[in-house]
């Protein structure tokens, strides 16, 4: 599982880092953490913060988080019926 997360992080980081090649890796990570609103110690920064921020970095402010979008229902009635197992 860790290898998958590392690969995903590198895949997301690579194009964004190429836009600012003058930054070293640590500077880029600090910049991303600040953009994401992370206020803790850098040593406590999780890969989840970086991954989700990189996924959402170039999206509109009202865009849904990718992992949540697949479960979203436009209609409340359909959502209730699906949650109760009445419809698939």
Q: How confident is the model at residue 46 (pLDDT cuts 50, 70, 90)?
A: very high
**Per-residue 3-state assignment (H helix, E strand, C coil) for the chain:** CHHHHHHHHHHHHHHHHHCCCCCCHHHHHHHHHHHCCCCCCHHHCCHHHHHHHHHHCCCCCCCCCHHHHCCCCCCHHHHHHHHCCCCC
Domains and CATH numbers, the chain: 2-83 (1.10.1580)
Is pLDDT of 85 > 70? yes
Contact 12, 47 (CB under 8 A): no
| Percent of the chain with pLDDT strictly greater than 70 | 91
The whole model's pTM is what?
0.69
């Amino acid at each position: 599982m860790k290898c998958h997360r590392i690969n995903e992080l590198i895949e997301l980081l690579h194009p964004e880092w190429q836009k600012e090649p003058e930054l070293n890796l640590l500077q880029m990570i600090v910049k991303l953490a600040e953009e994401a609103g992370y206020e803790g110690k850098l040593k406590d920064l999780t890969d989840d913060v970086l991954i989700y921020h990189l996924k959402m970095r170039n999206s509109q402010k009202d865009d849904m988080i990718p992992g949540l979008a697949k479960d979203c229902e436009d209609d409340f009635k359909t959502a209730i019926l699906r949650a109760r197992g009445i419809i698939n």
